[in-house]
Amino acid sequence: MRSLIAAAGLVLLSAAAYQDVALKDVMPKGMVVGVAINQRQFDGTDAAAVDIITKQFNQISPENVLKFQPIHPAADRYAFEAADRYVQFGVDRKMQVIGHTLVWHSQTGAWVFQGADGKPADRETLLARMREHINTVMGRYKGRIHGWDVVNEAIEEDGSMRKSPWQAGIGDDYVAKAFEFAREADPGAELYYNDFNLEKPAKRAGVIRLVKDLRARKLRIDGIGNQAHWRLETPAIGEIGAALEELHATGLKVMYTELDINLLQNTPRGADPAVANPYANGLPDDVQERLAQRYADVFRVFRKHRKAVTRVTFWGLSDGDSWLNRGRMNYPLLWDRQRQPKPAFNAVVDALRSGK
Ligand code: XIL
């Protein structure tokens, strides 16, 4: 009996001990751990989230506030107020503050790509707009933003250049131009290329070609960001490891910039709710366990390659904050909707602490 009580006590003790563990303290040396934060968090309204963020992380990313559309909604207008608060949140806490993102086809106003006559803007106009935007936004946060996703998602699944409005109007060298302007705007900031599905060989080959081209042009680029919007089974751990090694072989830093594990399938509108939203009433224990296992596997890979990986960033703090809900109930992160750490949190801590 006594030993049973002792055993129960031990379990309780270790659960309580986990509550006191901060991810930033168990990460391998030289690897920062961060989270993408939203407006309610950086303006302090969501106090419970702010406490966890402050305690757990040493890096932040802006989920939306530094994107082109929110910060530069019209040709002659910038909206810096929210972005200023985001940056200050990180500076106040001595966190590494990341900028995301300067040149992307998404969340960018249609005006950016339009010429005076309503036709698509020409190369010179687009280059002038890009340069002005990069100069203004990066210039404002010079010395406070550690590194920037200069270009986001420029490569197609087959490895070719994505036919984005930037590419259509400027040509393939728009990426090189963006890196040139970024270097000019803040010579002290790290500059990254960021994309998803880099575990897929064809796409990864395209990204590696792109970064090699930038280096051949003697442009500054410091790292490659893998968004890491992953699932329970895919990509396989072996694919993640292989991609990591190949990306690191470019000589650049490797980062996981938007990590989450999507538990829901992509279903068409009007699909059977039992398929589209299977965990509407909670996550079954076995799936919870599989999620924890998946996170443990992922962090073991990061740990193994700790010389190559400089940063891991979660795309949101708690399940309720995640962009992956979209009207459904998803469970992709380490904290639940009540802001309690999930078994996946403990699994990550264990994976980072285990000497293997
Ligand atoms: C997402 C945000 O999380 C959402 O709130 C927003 O509605 C759309 O964008 N790749 C990226 C991120 O680089 O900026 C995206 O963030 C997720 C996919």
Cα of 105 vs centre of ligand 1, distance in Å, is 12
Beta pairing class for 223-226 and 253-262: parallel
Contacts of 124 (CB under 8 A, 6+ apart): none
Structural element, H or E, at residue 256: strand 253-262
- Give bridge partners of residue 264 from the DSSP assignment: none
* CB 63 near ligand 1, within 6 Å: yes
Per-residue pLDDT of the chain (356 residues; tens, 9 = 90+): 455 555 555 555 455 558 789 999 999 999 999 999 999 999 999 999 999 999 999 999 999 999 999 999 999 999 999 999 999 999 999 999 999 999 999 999 999 999 988 899 999 999 999 999 999 999 999 999 999 999 999 999 999 999 999 999 999 999 999 999 999 999 999 999 999 999 999 999 999 999 999 999 999 999 999 999 999 999 999 999 999 999 999 999 999 999 999 999 999 999 999 999 999 999 999 999 999 999 999 999 999 999 999 999 999 999 999 999 999 999 999 999 999 999 999 999 999 998 64
CA 336 vs CA 83, 89, 208: distances in Å: 27, 23, 36
- Is there a contact between 149 and 98 (Cβ–Cβ < 8 Å)? yes
- Is there a contact between 306 and 313 (Cβ–Cβ < 8 Å)? no
Cα of 353 vs centre of ligand 1, distance in Å, is 31
* CB 323 near ligand 1, within 6 Å: yes
d(CA 340, CA 212): 43
* Catalytic annotation present for 153: yes
Cα of 217 vs centre of ligand 1, distance in Å, is 30
Cα of 16 vs centre of ligand 1, distance in Å, is 34
Closest residue by CA, ligand 1 atom 4? 323
- Is there a contact between 347 and 296 (Cβ–Cβ < 8 Å)? yes
* Ligand 1 atom closest to Cα of residue 100: 14
Catalytic residue among 63, 153, 180, 190: 153
Helix (H, G, I), strand (E, B) or coil at 322: coil
Catalytic residue among 180, 190, 199, 258: 258
* CB 152 near ligand 1, within 6 Å: yes
Tokens of 111: 């005006």
Helix (H, G, I), strand (E, B) or coil at 9: helix
d(CA 192, CA 100): 10
d(CA 87, CA 184): 21
Structure confidence at residue 333 (pLDDT)? 98
Closest residue by CA, ligand 1 atom 12? 63
What's the predicted TM-score (pTM) here? 0.95
């039992």: which residue's tokens? 274
297: left (phi over 0), alpha (psi -120 to 50) or beta: alpha
């290329």: which residue's tokens? 193
- Is there a contact between 306 and 30 (Cβ–Cβ < 8 Å)? yes
Cα of 68 vs centre of ligand 1, distance in Å, is 12
